[in-house]
Copies of this chain bind each other. A is one copy, B any other.
Amino acid sequence: MPKFSPVLYPFFNIIRLSYVELEVSDLEASEKFYSDLLGLVVTARNDNQLFLRCMEEREHHSIVLTKGSTPQCRGLGFKVFDEGDLAGIENYFTEQGHEVDWIEKPHLRKVLKVRDNLGMPLEFYSRMDLLPTIHQKYEIYKGARPLRIDHVNMFSTDVDSSAEFYNNLGFRLTEYTEDEETGRMWAAWLHRKGTVHDVAFTNGSGPRLHHVAFFLMNPLNIIDLLDIMSTSGYLGNIERGPGRHGISNAFFLYIRDPDNHRIELYCCDYQTIDPDHEPIKWDLKDPTRQTLWGQPAPRSWFEEGSLFEGAEVKEPLQAGTPIVAP
């Protein structure tokens, strides 16, 4: 029934998706969006970069905004258990014939930079600077009151291969959409941290970043954000939602940042840590998998995404787009 055997004891222990670095054209506009509007807290800044964290996070940052001329994603950061795991990952990627690189990044100790099977830039590290807790500084909560980074979602030209690649890194499948006619996966959700996902892949030209998601307390935070966006100049940045996903069962909203990077506000998914937790299979023709309540997503949601730095975009193996709305 499961598409993949869970990897019982991986040679290395990836804890979770922990940061995303986005290239943006105007740091000031982005700060207004991520800090004033969404409510992330700025933890450091310099002429070229802005670092932010959510209310519950103790690591120095979960979002890095880097000034640049191409609105692309420069890397996805994954925290591992300890330095031994970095060595394990280095060996694994080297054995698989992938190039590996040790790089320097501010606030991080030893970063291993690699590319996945489709060319997406991944950054593994074990320790980031830690900051004092702010989760009980309630007077500074604002906007959507984001608690933590939750996951990233990518367009993949070959979802079966992507899912298998991450499954080999220890990620476990929780839900997936299957094209009943071809038997191929159209979309896949995989996790390390015990929720529905750390990473997900959807069929499409890729690799491209579909969205970065933040976890919120409850659906009213999303309603509050919608009210604020609609009446403070961000109406055009609302793309899809609010709604409940059939897949993941989460309450969601999709918005676009000033450079069109897509952000999801997300809450209320479920715990998946049991080793015998079986993936849920959805039929590509079932509209409630996208929105339990039936509302279709707009065309932009199916087609648009952010480039990954240094990764060439290719056409997907499977043609067609399951566009429900015009």
Contact = CB atoms under 8 A, between A and B. Distances in A.
A280 interface: yes
B133 A235 contact: no
A320 interface: no
A315 B94 CA distance: 59
Contact of A288 (B16, B58, B230): B230
Interface of A: 8, 15-16, 56, 58-59, 79, 81-82, 126-127, 130, 133, 135-139, 141, 147-148, 193-194, 217-220, 223-224, 226-232, 235-236, 238, 242, 244, 246, 249, 251, 268, 270-271, 273-278, 280, 288, 292-294, 326
A326 B230 CA distance: 22
A288 B232 CA distance: 12
B271 A148 contact: yes
Nearest to A326: B326
A127 B276 CA distance: 8
A133 B217 contact: no
Contacts of A79: 274
A230 B244 contact: yes
Contacts of A141: 224
A96 to B, nearest CB: 24
Nearest to A232: B139
Nearest to A16: B273
Contacts of A218: 217-218, 220
Given A217-B268, A219-B219, A235-B288, A273 B193 contact: yes
A309 B235 CA distance: 42
Contacts of A271: 56, 148, 193
* Nearest 10 Cβ contacts at the A-B interface: A138-B227, A218-B218, A139-B232, A138-B228, A230-B292, A226-B293, A56-B270, A230-B293, A138-B231, A139-B228
B242 A226 contact: no
Given A218-B218, A223-B244, A251-B223, A280 B194 contact: no
A316 to B, nearest CB: 27
Contacts of A56: 270-271
B244 A227 contact: yes
Contacts of A275: 15, 81-82, 126
A135 B270 contact: yes
Contacts of A147: 270
Contacts of A294: 230, 235-236, 238
A147 B249 CA distance: 12
A306 to B, nearest CB: 22
A271 B136 CA distance: 14
Contacts of A274: 15-16, 58-59, 79
